[in-house]
Amino acid sequence: MTTKLDPLLPEAEVDPDARPALDWPTDPWDDADRTGTVERLRRQTRSVKWIVYTMMCLTIVAILIAGAVGWWYVQKINPEGAPGEQISFTVNETDDLESIAQRLEDEGLVSDAGVFEWYVDRNGGIELTPGYYQIRPNDHMGNVMGVFSTPPGQTYSRVTFPEGFTVDRIALRLESSVERLTADDFMEAASDPTLTSIWSPPGNTSLEGLLFPDTYQVSNAESEAQVIERMIGLMERVGNQEEIVSKGAALGRTPYEILIIASMIEKEAKTEGDRPKISRVIHNRLAVTANNPDNPFPLAIDAAVLYGRTQLGLDTDMPFRELRQIESPWNTYLLPGLPATPIASPGRASIRAALNPAPNPPPGDPICEVLPEDQRADNCFYFYYVLADEDGNHAFAVTGEQHNANVAQAAADGLLE
């Protein structure tokens, strides 16, 4: 007898052993052979994922670096903050893009010289015109480039004043080099008592020897007085660089006296090797005069006498033997000590020689052999010199007799007028 299940009875009352087998229909996909299997990920698949991940990371890093570089570049090209007040910048005849870029950075007008060069090269370049330009610091490099791409606000003339020029000759050279400036106006400005040097002694009204000889760029806006101010300023700067105050004091001389000595060296010396020796001759003679005021040893500098002739307006054809008999503040044959003023503008080499005279010859030097042997150690001093060859070298002597022999030789060689 078959037992029927009553669907309304609780499950607990049904005999599990009495459950009939349920007859479910079979689907095609129930076949175990058709369901397939789940495979584990291969190592190769994992490697590909890591490569992709690494490449993504590198790409992100590259983007970040590029962004940082771009931000840095933008900051260099266009710095933060407002541009400052205009500053004068000079382009010289010898300047190129590299040199002005470095100077622009040094003067704080651009933030990076290399970036400025790169920017200019990639924006068409610039053709530099010598002159004075007005540039604002902290400005966009495009604006700076634009300034150089337009004519300069001020042009300039290049003027060279050689060593040994007097104030008169400086005035004439300026007039011949700068069309709008005149020698008369220069000399008038040079007589202005407000234009003076820190080394000029009280009561001195001459700028002779106080204007440094050099090459200057004179702008189309400068006056004669401004040129003088620049020349005075450069002389003071060079003198300070050569320690004219301290070294002059060690020699017992003021800066102005050193410039007087330097001006005579400038006019007398023809070669670099002679400058310190001529300086020693001058210092030696001054020392003898200081120690024996009743029996001075005149400097007898021909160049100083000739300068006096110009200042006094004397006949240029007057024989020198007559000229040196005429009293003047520059006649170093008649007056003891230094002339009243420098006799020219000394250059750096002559200033250095005036501050650093050569040592006197050692006792064993052949030049000392004219002295008694027992006097060579204490009395062998450079006191004289005369032209010795056509190259401008001088022969030096320690006694008058030795000097006279050198003079005779120079005359025989046709070296003396």
- Angstrom distance (rounded) from CA 326 to CA 321: 10
In this prediction, residue 124 carries a pLDDT of: 87
Provide the 8-state DSSP code for 311. H
CA–CA distances in Å: residue 38 to residues 34, 35, 41, 164: 13, 10, 10, 104
- Bridge partners of 161? none
> What parts of the chain have a pLDDT lower than 50?
1-14, 68
Q: Can you tell me which residue has the tokens 């040094």? A: 106
Residue type, 70: G
Task: Please answer whether residues 283 and 357 qualify as being in contact, where contact means their C-beta atoms are separated by less than 8 angstroms.
Answer: yes
Domains in the chain: ranges and CATH: 87-148 (3.30.1490.480), 263-412 (no CATH)
**The model's pTM:** 0.69
In this prediction, residue 4 carries a pLDDT of: 45
- Angstrom distance (rounded) from CA 282 to CA 350: 13
The phi-psi region of residue 392 (left if phi > 0; otherwise alpha if psi is between -120 and 50; otherwise beta) is: left
Task: Please answer whether residues 217 and 91 qualify as being in contact, where contact means their C-beta atoms are separated by less than 8 angstroms.
Answer: no
Q: Collapsing DSSP states into helix, strand and coil, what is residue 218?
A: strand
Task: Please answer whether residues 133 and 91 qualify as being in contact, where contact means their C-beta atoms are separated by less than 8 angstroms.
Answer: yes
Q: Which two tokens stand for residue 74?
A: 């933008």
In this prediction, residue 150 carries a pLDDT of: 78
In this prediction, residue 9 carries a pLDDT of: 43
Q: DSSP characters for 318-367?
A: S-HHHHTTS--TT-TTTSSS--SS-SS---HHHHHHHHSPPPPPPTTSGG
pLDDT in tens, 129-168: 888 788 888 889 888 888 888 777 667 788 999 999 999 9
* Total length of the chain: 417
pLDDT in tens, 165-180: 999 999 999 999 998 8
In this prediction, residue 7 carries a pLDDT of: 47
Q: Which two tokens stand for residue 327?
A: 């009293």
Q: Which two tokens stand for residue 244?
A: 């004219």
Find the largest Cα–Cα distance for the chain. Answer: 175
- Angstrom distance (rounded) from CA 229 to CA 194: 10
- Bridge partners of 135? 87
Type and span of the H or E element at 91: strand 87-91
